[in-house]
Amino acid sequence: EVQLVESGGGWVQPGGSLRLSCAASGFTLSDYWMDWVRQTPGKGLEWVANVNQDGSEESYVDSVKGRFTISRDNTKNSLYLQMDSLRAEDTAVYYCARDCCPGDLDHWGQGTLVTVSS
């Protein structure tokens, strides 16, 4: 069974940093692109970033470019999102998702809440 489990969320002051992790199991991580998608409380979904199978290609939504870094360690079956210079508008539930084909997000984690507030 495919499982994705996020961790690392929490409360941080504006300008601070957090590192999210996503532990993958039930499939071979190195076969898939992986994505981070966020959802502001009570609002819709926003794609944040993705990375290709070996980590050599990364892409980001404009609003996080230069502040967030996606990475992966296939030997540890893990995906990461380093978030620096956090802003209030980054407050959201962050989901990791397996990206098939690519662009079909066919499995999602349960999400981890990031709150940026003073």
Q: Which residues bind other proteins (CB under 8 A)?
A: 33, 35, 37, 44-47, 50, 52, 57, 59, 61-62, 95, 101-106, 108-111
Closest approach of Cβ 48 to other proteins, in Å?
Answer: 10
Nearer to other proteins, 52 or 69 (CB): 52
Give the residues across from 19 on adjacent strands. Answer: 82
**92 neighbors 6 (Cβ within 8 angstroms):** no
Q: Which among 95, 8, 112, 103 is positioned nearest to 59, based on CA atoms?
A: 103
Of 91, 111, 109, nearest in space to 11 by CA: 91
- Residue 81 CB, shortest distance to other proteins, in Å, is 16
Query: CB of 103 within 8 A of CB of 37?
Result: no
Instruction: Give the Cα separation of 59 and 102 in Å (integer).
Output: 13
Nearest distance in Å: CB 111, other proteins: 6
Provide, rounded to whole angstroms, the least separation between the CB of residue 110 and other proteins. Answer: 6
CB nearer other proteins, residue 16 or residue 104? 104
Give the Å distances, CA to CA, from 85 to 72, 93, 96. Answer: 21, 17, 21
Nearer to other proteins, 41 or 75 (CB): 41
15 versus 103: smaller Cβ distance to other proteins? 103
